[in-house]
Chain A
Amino acid sequence: MSEPQSALGNPVFEGFATVREIGPIGMITLRATLSAPVLAKALAGVGLALPAQRRILRQGARAAGWMSSDELLILLPHSEVPEVLASLSKALQGEHHLLADISDARAVFRIEGVKAGQVLAKLCPVDLDRLEPGELRRSRAAQVACAFWAEDDGFTLISFRSVAGYVMGLLTHSAQTGSELYSA
Chain B
Amino acid sequence: MSTRLASGGRLIDRKTTQKFTFNGTWLSGFSGDTLASALLANDQMLVGRSFKYHRPRGILASGPEEPNALVNLGRDDRLEPNQRTTTTPLFDGLQATSQNHWPSLEFDIGVVNNYAARFLPAGFYYKTFIHPRAAWKHLFEPVIRKSAGLGRAPKDRDADRYEQAYAFCDVLVVGGGIAGLQAALSAGRRGDRVILLEQAAHWGGRAPVDGDAVGGMAAGDWLTAALEELHALPNVTLRAACTATGVYDHGYVLAAESLADATPGDGRPRQRLWRIRAGRIVTATGAIERPLSFAGNDIPGVMLAAAMRDYVVNHAVSPGDRTVIVTNNDDAYRTALVLRDAGLAVPVILDARPAPAGPLVEAARARGIRIEAGRAIAKVQGGKRVTGVQICLQAGEGAVLEEISCDAVAMSGGWSPVVHLWSHCGGKLNWDDRLSAFLPDPARPPLNHDGRAMVTPAGAAAGIFEPDAILTSGEVAGADPDSLGEVQDELLARQSVVVPPVWVMPQGARADLRAKMWLDFQNDVKVSDVQLAAREGYESVEHTKRYTTLGMATDQGKLSNINGLAVLAQALGEDIPQVGTTTFRPPYTPVTLGTLAGEARGEIFQPLRRTPVHGWHESHGAYFEPVGLWRRPYCYPRSGESHADAVKREVLNTRAGLGLLDASTLGKIIVKGPDAGRFLDMLYTNMMSTLPVGKCRYGLMCNEQGFLSDDGVVARLDEDTWLCHTTSGGADRIHGWMEDWLQCEWWDWKVYTANLTEHYAQIAVVGPKARALLEKLGGMDVSKEALPFMAWSEGSLAGIPARAFRISFSGELSYEIAVPASQGLAFWEACLAAGAEFGISPYGTEALHVMRAEKGFIMIGDETDGTVTPLDLGLAWAVSKKKADFLGKRGMERNHLSSPDRWQLVGFETLDGSVIPDGAYILAEGSNDNGQRNVQGRVTSTYYSPTLKHGIAMGLLHHGPSRMGEVVEFNKTDGGTVKARVADPVFYDKTGEKQNV
**A residues within 8 Å of B by Cβ?**
1-2, 4-7, 24, 29, 31-32, 70, 78, 96-98, 100-106, 121-127, 129-130, 142-144, 160-166, 169-170, 173-174, 176-179, 181-182
Contact = CB atoms under 8 A, between A and B. Distances in A.
Task: Give the secondary structure class of B's interface.
Answer: mixed
Given A125-B275, A163-B607, A178-B267, A104 B165 contact: no
A64 B598 CA distance: 35
A106 B266 CA distance: 36
Interface in B951-993: none
B372 interface: no
Nearest to B267: A178
Contact of A98 (B268, B611, B672): B672
B168 A98 contact: no
Given A97-B752, A125-B275, A2 B630 contact: no
Given A127-B168, A166-B604, A182-B237, A122 B756 contact: no
Interface string B660-704: 000000000010111000000000000000000000000000000
B720 to A, nearest CB: 9
Nearest to B757: A105
B609 A163 contact: yes
Given A4-B820, A5-B826, A104-B821, 11 more contacts: A4-B823, A5-B612, A6-B822, A7-B610, A105-B757, A121-B165, A142-B598, A143-B600, A165-B608, A170-B599, A176-B269
A6 B610 CA distance: 13
A176 B598 CA distance: 14
A169 B598 CA distance: 13
17 contacts: A5-B823, A5-B825, A7-B610, A7-B821, A70-B752, A98-B673, A98-B752, A121-B165, A123-B599, A125-B166, A130-B168, A142-B600, A143-B606, A162-B630, A169-B604, A179-B259, A179-B268
Given A121-B165, A166-B608, A170-B604, A98 B753 contact: yes
B758 A122 contact: no
A102 B756 contact: yes
A100 B608 CA distance: 25
Contacts of B612: 5, 7, 161
A122 B754 contact: no
Contacts of B826: 2, 5
Residue among B607, B754, B757 with max Cβ neighbours from chain A (10 Å): B607
Interface string B738-766: 00000000000010111111111000000
B674 A96 contact: yes
A178 B268 contact: yes
A133 to B, nearest CB: 18
A31 B823 CA distance: 26
A100 B163 contact: no
B878 interface: no
B754 A31 contact: yes
A126 B167 CA distance: 8
Contacts of B609: 162-163
Contacts of B800: 1-2
Nearest to B721: A98
Contacts of A24: 822
B752 A126 contact: no
Closest 4 CB pairs of A and B: A4-B822, A2-B826, A98-B752, A104-B821
A103 B759 contact: yes
Interface in B142-156: none
A103 B758 CA distance: 9
B590 interface: no
B814 interface: no
A164 to B, nearest CB: 8
A150 to B, nearest CB: 16
